[in-house]
Amino acid sequence: MTSVNAGARLDRLPISSFHYRIFWLVGAGMFFDGYDLYVAGGVLASLIQTKFSTLPQNLQFISLTFVGMTLGSLITGFVGDRFGRRFTYQVNLLIFGLASLAAAFAQDMTQLIACRFVQGLGLGAEIVVGYSTMTEFVPPKTRGRWLSMMAFIVVAGFPATSLLGYLIIPAFGWRPMFVIAGIGSLFVWYLRKNLPESPRWLEAQGRTEEAEALMQAIETEASGGKPLAPVAAPSPAPLVAASELLRPPLLQRMVVGCWVLISINTLIFGFVLFLPQFFLRQGLTITNSLAYTVVLSAASLVGCGLGAYTSDAVGRRFSIIGASIVTIIAGYVYARFDAASDAAIVLAIGFILIVAIYVQTAILYGVYTPELFPTEIRLRANGICNMFGRGATVLSPFIVGALMGSYGLPGVIWLMTALVVVQILVVWAWGVEPRNRGLEQVAAQA
């Protein structure tokens, strides 16, 4: 069988309109995925205040969201490796968009929770296939920057939902927040018909004629008629079976991928998502609580931007470990102050804490985990890692609720600290460094 050498040919391409087109086609859907990930913060606070729900129902809402995301992550990994990135991306976005519109018209909390579970299926799928797809198109020298900026697009949903929630929820209630997500997602679903399949995946599937034809079209668009740099002859590499994930060294990579996603998911959905409710418990009004959250949400964009720089400048491992250490220190200080009486300090330390969390978010979600595995099993491995990450957050709302009731915010911070300490250890011991290396090189090391 003739080798297309798709990986090396894609890696030598100059940055062009082709890369920006792929970035925005994938990124537009990822934005609404991020929007809906964070919409629960303001919505749940409003549901409590208007007595549409109770605290136990809110915890069930969050938990069922993550059950859906856990299943969506796992199913998508297998579907994406079997039927392709493009097909999987389209299906999950359609599911998510329709479920969002249904949620806007829920008549009681039981209906809303059911809609949220279906939304979760699409949300879990989007995260897995979106980052993995983009990973397979961009060159190694700037891959960290591209994927971190994709995470920036996702995280932009945090300030977007915070700002829209501040403007919309007090005046019009929570339902318009889901209408925005549904209409936006279905519009992007229509645009995504122009998204090409991954040539790396086509070649791994033995569909060499399709891969070659697509590569020639991509090279024509990216080169603009100018000659391209020569491509080194491909090194023969056996296809990797999924069973290899259970044996070293891919097993160690699976442990790293699973734990870092458990850690960052719990940081986001056990702490960041709860910010409005933390502030309400400290005596702030719903309006002031949402306003505080808007301020802190700006730090998420700063963190992703910083992650985009450091992932390529100093490498993935040192960026993850450094941001983890800052998270531990800032979290300890943050828990010692009260939002109602120490507003300036809480916002300043909270800003640093959110920046550190989102440096990790940009690198762990967008860059690091998809890079760890070969093309032929990338979505399955990434899906399994995300399954464990999302699975942990099924329980984390209940754990956080119990810790808040017994120990207050310091109890939540101690949980986060323990997770991050283990993250530092596994990344230091078993993490690989993919900076400036092609995906095939990283895979060959395994």
Model confidence over 61-79: pLDDT tens digits?
988 888 899 999 999 999 9
Q: Is the pLDDT of residue 242 over 90?
A: no
Domains and CATH numbers, the chain: 6-227+243-444 (1.20.1250.20)
Model confidence over 148-191: pLDDT tens digits?
999 999 988 878 888 898 899 999 999 999 999 999 999 999 98
Nearest-CA neighbor of 253 among 374, 363, 337, 336? 374
Residue 80 · residue 132 · CB < 8 Å: yes
Q: Give the contacts of 243 (CB within 8 A, at least 6 positions apart).
A: none
- If you average pLDDT over residues 295-313, what whole number do you get? 90
Q: Give the contacts of 97 (CB within 8 A, at least 6 positions apart).
A: 122, 181, 182, 183, 184, 185, 186, 189
DSSP string, 12-64: TPPP-HHHHHHHHHHHHHHHHHHHHHHHHHHHHHHHHHTTSS-HHHHHHHHHH
| pLDDT at position 34 | 87
Backbone conformation region of residue 218, classed left if phi is above 0, alpha if psi is from -120 to 50, else beta: alpha
Q: Is the pLDDT of residue 91 over 80?
A: yes
Backbone conformation region of residue 408, classed left if phi is above 0, alpha if psi is from -120 to 50, else beta: left
Residue of 367 and 401 predicted with greater confidence: 367
d(CA 157, CA 161): 6
